[in-house]
Amino acid sequence: MTTDTERSVELTRTGKARFRATNVRGKTLDFGEGNDDDFTPIELLLAAIAGCSAIDVDYLVGKRVDPESFDVSIRADKIRDDLGNRLTDIKVTFDVSFPEGDDGDRAKESLPRAVAQSHDRLCTVTRTVIVGTPVESVVS
């Protein structure tokens, strides 16, 4: 049984350290450990953080005018310490330009607030990382 709040993805092994993720709509994404062109799990996490915020910000600033360009980059450091393997110093950078005129000026002025709203409240992926959510691993 599923609820309105549940989100899920199924993984299937396709080879040594290679998997295919399938969402509930049937779309698939192959990934692995990074010895080929496919994304790694870390890159998928970074894409999820940046993508979630990008969608939020696009909705918020796009109410005024469509941007002329909208690029987002994300970077992090992978470390190993007493807490285990993890990412630190995650930084999401927005590079957005708007058309000339009043609407473009208002959209440009609203950009920092939109980025802050996504970071502080709206982006489920970022909020999950920041707040920290237990992950339960079980064997069925």
Q: Where are the beta strands (DSSP E) in 33-129?
A: 69-81, 84-97
Q: Which residues contact 69 (CB under 8 A, 6 or more apart)?
A: 95, 96, 97
Q: Are 89 and 77 a contacting pair, CB within 8 Å?
A: yes
CATH code for the domain defined by 41-131: 3.30.300.20
Q: pLDDT tens string for the chain (140 positions)?
A: 557 899 999 999 999 999 999 999 999 999 999 999 999 999 999 999 999 999 999 999 998 899 999 999 999 999 999 999 999 999 999 999 999 999 999 999 999 999 999 999 999 999 999 999 999 999 99
Give me the sheet containing 28-32, strands edge to edge. 9-15, 18-23, 28-32
pTM above 0.75, yes or no: yes
